[in-house]
Amino acid sequence: MHVKAVIFDWAGTLVDFGSLAPLLSLKRVFEEAGVTVSEDDIRAGMGLGKLDHIKAIGFSPRAANAWAGSHDDQPFEERDAFLLHERFREISRQTAAERGKLIGGVLTASRALRDRDILIGTTTGYTRDIMERVIAVAKAQGFEAEVVVCADDVPECRPSPLALYHAMVSLGVYPASAVVKVDDTVPGLMEGKAAGAWTVGISETGNEMGLGEDAFKALPPRERLDLANAAAKRLTDAGADYVIGSVAEIANIVDDINERLADGERPELLEYEPEAA
């Protein structure tokens, strides 16, 4: 038994340091609808499929009150979420591509994995039309995954394990205990745990830190360390098997997992219960 595949998230993990593209796009979508939502409210649902993310924001107490206040006391409804999602897709096709710069260490990490005969897959909360441009931008920088599973490729997105299962089938790898899921969000980690894969949280380059690269590097060293430790704790508390600052460290984690697999250890399986229809 050994690691056969590593499945990465995209924004905040491979590209878009700080996971700012979805934040900016969601903020704009709600502002165009007359509702100001806070960064905290947006980041709370980061990692979900974007339609589900929009619903989570819109039905939250603060946003729901603001929506009613700017829409003649009409409550936020499912149809509103679908309309906002269509607008989100329009905006994100550009924003996500503009924020498609690879995070430092991605190319080195992907080479290290392939040197170990490990396949590279990805899942994302973005829909295929958004990801087509991001994939092209990443490829131009030298990164290409064997498979990209998008939110609209599966009936149910994160924290459901379906996207990870889809990636495993496409890659032809099993069991899930031979797979590692790497993500900067809690729903993304839950996707991995619900499948029975090993999970690795990203504490510095993604949603939990929530800072662009320049802002992150400008932090005083002590403040940076404190924020990174707090982000790591949130990911650990959510059940991550490992937490690293960025994907640059993933090869060492895979080596450690291989040792644990050889000793007979297996990752914890967290049963996923879908919401009632």
**3-state secondary structure string across 204-241:** CCCCCCCCCHHHHHHCCHHHHHHHHHHHHHHHHHCCCC
The residue written with tokens 């499912």 in the block is 78
Determine the Cα–Cα distance for residues 68 and 88; give it in Å rounded to an integer. 20
Determine the Cα–Cα distance for residues 54 and 85; give it in Å rounded to an integer. 7
Does residue 238 carry a pLDDT above 90? yes
Query: Quick one: pLDDT at residue 274?
Result: 77
Tokens of 193: 């745990």
Query: Quick one: pLDDT at residue 273?
Result: 78
Q: How confident is the model at residue 16 (pLDDT cuts 50, 70, 90)?
A: very high
> What is the per-residue pLDDT across 177-225, written as a single tens digit (0 to 9) for each?
999 999 999 999 999 999 999 999 999 999 999 999 999 999 999 999 9
Q: How confident is the model at residue 155 (pLDDT cuts 50, 70, 90)?
A: very high
Instruction: Say if residues 134 and 15 touch (Cβ distance below 8 Å).
Output: yes
Q: How confident is the model at residue 277 (pLDDT cuts 50, 70, 90)?
A: very low
The residue written with tokens 């797979």 in the block is 179
CA angle 238, 185, 235 (to 5 degrees): 30
Q: Which fold has domain 20-98?
A: DNA polymerase; domain 1 (1.10.150)
Tokens of 141: 């920088």
Instruction: Say if residues 138 and 14 touch (Cβ distance below 8 Å).
Output: yes
Query: Quick one: pLDDT at residue 265?
Result: 97
pLDDT average, residue stretch 16-20: 97
Strands 242-244, 179-183: pairing kind: unpaired
High-pLDDT (> 90) share of the chain, %:
96
> What is the per-residue pLDDT across 104-118, written as a single tens digit (0 to 9) for each?
999 999 999 999 999
Query: Quick one: pLDDT at residue 271?
Result: 81
Where are the domain boundaries for CATH 3.40.50.1000 in the chain? 5-19+100-262
Does residue 53 carry a pLDDT above 70? yes
Long-range contacts formed by 270-277: CB under 8 A, 24+ apart: 270/190, 270/193, 270/194, 270/239, 271/194, 272/159, 272/160, 272/161, 272/190, 272/194, 274/156, 274/160
Q: How confident is the model at residue 27 (pLDDT cuts 50, 70, 90)?
A: very high
**CB neighbours of residue 222 within 10 Å:** 8
Contacts of residue 38, Cβ cutoff 8 Å, sequence gap at least 6: 62
Please state the three-class secondary structure of 113-155 as a single string. Answer: HHHCCCEEEEECCCCHHHHHHHHHHHHHCCCCCCEEECHHHCC
For the stretch 53-87, what's the b/e string if a residue is b when 16 or more beta carbons lie within 10 angstroms of its beta carbon? bbbbbbbbeebeebbeeeeeeeebeeebbeebbeb
Query: Quick one: pLDDT at residue 165?
Result: 98
pLDDT average, residue stretch 3-7: 98
Which residues are catalytic, by number?
A: 9, 50
Query: Quick one: pLDDT at residue 276?
Result: 46
Average pLDDT for the chain: 96
pTM of the model: 0.95
Does residue 139 carry a pLDDT above 50? yes
Of the candidates 26, 14, 3, 82, the one whose C-alpha atom is nearest the C-alpha of residue 261 is 3
The residue written with tokens 């905040």 in the block is 12
**Domain 5-19+100-262, architecture per CATH:** 3-Layer(aba) Sandwich (3.40)
Query: Quick one: pLDDT at residue 231?
Result: 97
Instruction: Say if residues 239 and 189 touch (Cβ distance below 8 Å).
Output: yes
Query: Quick one: pLDDT at residue 42?
Result: 96
Query: Quick one: pLDDT at residue 167?
Result: 98
pLDDT average, residue stretch 5-31: 97
Where are the domain boundaries for CATH 1.10.150.240 in the chain? 20-98
Query: Quick one: pLDDT at residue 272?
Result: 79
Instruction: Say if residues 183 and 189 touch (Cβ distance below 8 Å).
Output: yes
